Each structure stands twice: as C-alpha cells, then as structure tokens.
Amino acid sequence: MSKRISINPNLIELDYAVRGKIPQRAAEMEREGRSTIPCNIGNPQALGQKPITFYRQVLSLLEYPTFISRERTIKNQIQSETVPIETFSDTILDYADEFLGELKTGTGAYTESKGPLFIREAISNFIDKRDGADVTNGQLSNPDNIFLTNGASDAVRRILEILITDKNDGIMIPIPQYPLYSATIKRSGGTQINYYPDEDMDWLLNEEILEESFTEAEKFGINTKAIVVINPGNPTGSILDEDSINLVLDFAEKHNLAVIADEVYQDNLYGGSFTSFAAATGVRDILLFSLHSTSKGFHGECGHRGGYVEIRSNPEVTDDGLKLLDIFLKQASVSLCSNTIGQCLTYMMVNPLQNETEDSYKYETEKAAILNDLNTKAYMIKSAFKEMLGVECFGRTGAMYLFPRLNNIPAGKDDFDYCMELLEATGLCTVNGAGFGQKNGTHHLRIAFLPPKESLETVLPKWIQFNNQYISKS
C-alpha cells in the first residue's frame, strides 16, 4: 500500500475548469486520432496566431547578443558584395542594443525584484499616455509602484496572498469569472463573494448588484477586503462602460475595499472603447491594483509569462509604519525577480517601435491584422448563434470570448452535457458555463474565438445542426 501524506486541503479543493474534464476528453480524442478544435482557452499561438515579428526578432538578439554585431558585419559586407541575404534591420538591431545597454547584466542574470527601473519607467509612461494623464491633473503613474510579474496570474496570486489574512476575509468576484480568481482565493484560504453583472443589460453593473452581495457576505460574518473587476471580461467578453467603472470605485471607497482591475484584454476592443480603472480613479485615494499582461491583446505571448501590476495608494500595514509597498517588495524579493524574457516582452509591449520605419509599419500592420481577424471570427460565431435555437449572446464584444446563454437545454441535462456532446459531435472544445459560475438555473458555454477562419467555416454549420437537434429533445 502506498504511503499517505497530508497536504494543503485548499489545493485539493480548488477547481480550474478551463483545463478540466472537457479539454481532457478532447486530448483523449486526439490520442484516438480524432481532430478537435481547442476553443477552451485563450492561447492564441496554440491556434495558429503568428507572433509579432518585432517581438521575436528583438528577443532572439537579446538571448544571443553576439548576433547583433554579427548582423551588423554581415550587413556591411553584403552592401559591398550585393549578396541577397536577409538581415535584421538597423531599427531592430539598435532596439536590442539599447535594451541590453539599459539592462546591463543580460537576460541570464536576476534583475531588481520589482523589475529594472527603465522598464518600470516605460510602463509608467505607457499608462500616462494611455490615460491622458499629465502633471496638471495630478494622477501620474509612479514607476516605484510597479512590479513586473510572471503574467497576470502571478500578480493575482501575490495580491491575494497579501490581502487575505484568514477564512473570513472575502474577495468579491464577478460571476461568471475567470477561474484564476476562485482558485486563488481558495488557495489563499479566503472566502469568495459572488456578485452578478446583469447579463440582459450587457453584463453591466448597478449599485444594487454590488451592495446586495456585500450585505449578504456581512450577514455571514465575512469581512470584505477587495472587489475584482475583469474588463474587458473573461468569460463574457463584455466591455464595461464608464458608469459601471465609476460605480465600482464609489462602492470601493464607501466600504474601504481594494479594487483589483484585471485589464489584460485592454487591446481586445474591436471598436469599443476602454477606460482604465487608473484613469477613472484619478486622484481619489482608493487602493487599486491594475494588471496587464503580454499574453493577450494582439501580443499573444502566453508562454513567455510577461506582465505587471501597478499599485495606486500605499496604506500603512503595521503599527511601526510599514506600508503595503514594503510588503509587496519583500514578497517579490522572495522570488528574486520575474523572468527576464517576460520583462523584455513587457517592455516591448509598452514601448513599441515609434519612428516611422519599415519595421514600425510592419508592426502596425501585423497588429491590425490580428485584431481584424479576431473581430471577423467573433462576428462569424455571433452570426451562427442567430441560427441556433434558444441561444442568446449579450455584451459588447471584447477580449477573446463569447459566452452565449443556452436557454433550451433538455430536462435532466446541463451545460456540461451540452459541451461534452458538442465535442463528440463536432470536435469543438468549449467550456461549460458552470466552470466560470453562473446564475442558478441558467446554462452557458464559453468559446474562445481564436481558431482559424477555415476551421470555423467548417465547424459552425455542424454546431448549428447539433444545437438544433439537441434542443429538439427538450
């Protein structure tokens, strides 16, 4: 008999549907030789999205700097010999050179725990430019309040580890939510408090929605510490309007809550507009954690684990004057630093090629092509929903997901059964609504609109047929 050990029960209990039973069955089908279309996760390059050339050219040089001077030598030689060899442009070579000059110790050394100052300064400039902030409106971003992280997931783990002190500490999360939040709250030993954006009103918020969940938690002795907002949303793909954002800030101020603004999809708007929580907060003294990542947007560099958290406000945390940022720094120091390639990508995300060069045009063209493609694919899927009986989809489309409501699931079945049977019938791997949480009695699924258009053209008619037959059993 094998020995038994006791482990952290929080880890036994946590759930993460995005990699749960439906994708596991899809993997099994692949092993059986059947092809599937993985729409269960926002992992663009796994579905064929090409990386941005500028990012990859610079990264390759950063990892092997000798190639910068080698490329320069080859360029000089071929100019005189007219040999047709493709080389990196001076723009790319200079960018890599300057980056390494600032980094000083190369990509193989630990950096400052927060991340190098020049990267944090670039992030601050990016935030101020994005938000139209300047010295006159007194809401400038401060590089000292920025921490580079291994993706946004790492930032969430750090924040919740700091905020949650015991099981009665509550974190409000939107339902449906990205399960990173429920899982990390569980892992940190706190309590998840659900609030329910109004689906029929495009997933927007009102005061009652927030107050109701706060009061309910209070009745159970829960001390609410923070509210999470994901904008644009995952899994709903919705984009919040300014009223909803201001409402969250008023609510947080009234109840002295921290706001965790997950803004990793800020570039995935498809015509909609994005207001950052930092801009909306302005000079108000609200503890705000804003997250960004290189995984999403048009960047799609999920595997490289780049990202940052910007913290506004710095409350005291102990009687002897220690402040939140001191603890954040101490916590970051324990991991030494975030990975340097993720740091480089974060720098390129916030500081892309500016001058009007061939490379900057190429960057803009690739960026537009990726976002246009995503927009077209979202539209293709939304159009298919119109032909599916009992399927409704709400919200201004953002992020990389659609979260349709399945109104006519046959009695005795639920959205898990629907998704499993959809997978078997069509190869389309989605995640059922229950994996993200949903109002009792409703059914949904989440689909990432990432697969190539050709796959969608083939699978969408099959899905329409599947859906209409499936619900005829109800």
Ligand X SMILES: Cc1ncc(COP(=O)(O)O)c(C=O)c1O
Binding site residues, ligand X, CB under 6 A? 42, 151-153, 178, 180, 230, 234, 262, 264, 293, 295, 302, 307
Shortest distance in whole angstroms from residue 447 CB to ligand X: 14
Shortest distance in whole angstroms from residue 335 CB to ligand X: 15
Shortest distance in whole angstroms from residue 15 CB to ligand X: 16
Residue number with CB closer to ligand X (170 or 307) = 307
Q: Which residue has the tokens 């049977």?
A: 421
Residue number with CB closer to ligand X (299 or 405) = 299
DSSP 3-state assignment of 291?
Answer: strand
Shortest distance in whole angstroms from residue 233 CB to ligand X: 8
Q: Which of 409, 227, 300, 338 is nearest to 53 (CA)?
A: 300
> Could you please report the per-residue DSSP string of 181-233?
HHHHHHHHT-EEEEE--BGGGTTB--HHHHHHHHHHHHHTT-EEEEEEEESS-
Shortest distance in whole angstroms from residue 33 CB to ligand X: 29
- The DSSP output letter for 422 is H
Give one word for 399, left, alpha or beta, with left for phi > 0 and alpha for psi -120 to 50: left
What amino acid occupies position 403?
Answer: F
Shortest distance in whole angstroms from residue 226 CB to ligand X: 15
Residue number with CB closer to ligand X (93 or 445) = 445
Question: How many CA atoms lie within 13 Å of 293's alpha carbon, on the beta-carbon side?
Answer: 27
Shortest distance in whole angstroms from residue 103 CB to ligand X: 22
Shortest distance in whole angstroms from residue 45 CB to ligand X: 12
Q: Under a CB-based contact definition with an 8 Å cutoff, are residues 258 and 252 in contact?
A: yes
Shortest distance in whole angstroms from residue 18 CB to ligand X: 8
Q: How many residues appear in the chain? A: 474
Q: Which of 348, 346, 305, 354 is nearest to 146 (CA)?
A: 346
Residue number with CB closer to ligand X (199 or 262) = 262
DSSP 3-state assignment of 238?
Answer: coil
**247-250 CB contacts, 8 Å cutoff, 24+ apart:** 247/205, 247/206, 247/207, 247/210, 248/205, 248/210, 248/277, 249/277, 249/280, 249/281, 249/284, 249/286
State which H helix or E strand residue 260 sits in.
strand 258-262
Residue number with CB closer to ligand X (61 or 309) = 309
Residue number with CB closer to ligand X (57 or 293) = 293
Residue number with CB closer to ligand X (68 or 152) = 152
Shortest distance in whole angstroms from residue 13 CB to ligand X: 21
Residue with smallest beta-carbon separation from ligand X: 151
Q: Under a CB-based contact definition with an 8 Å cutoff, are residues 408 and 474 in contact?
A: yes
Helix 180-188 × helix 151-163 angle, to 10°: 40
State which H helix or E strand residue 340 sits in.
helix 340-350
**Residue 341 phi, psi (nearest 5):** -70, -40
Residue number with CB closer to ligand X (153 or 182) = 153
Burial 60-69 (b: 16+ CB within 10 A, else e): ebbeeeebbe
Shortest distance in whole angstroms from residue 65 CB to ligand X: 27
* Cα–Cα distance for residue pair 327/4, rounded to 1 Å: 36
For the four alpha carbons of 145, 299, 128 and 131, in that order, the dihedral sign comes to: negative
Residue number with CB closer to ligand X (230 or 252) = 230
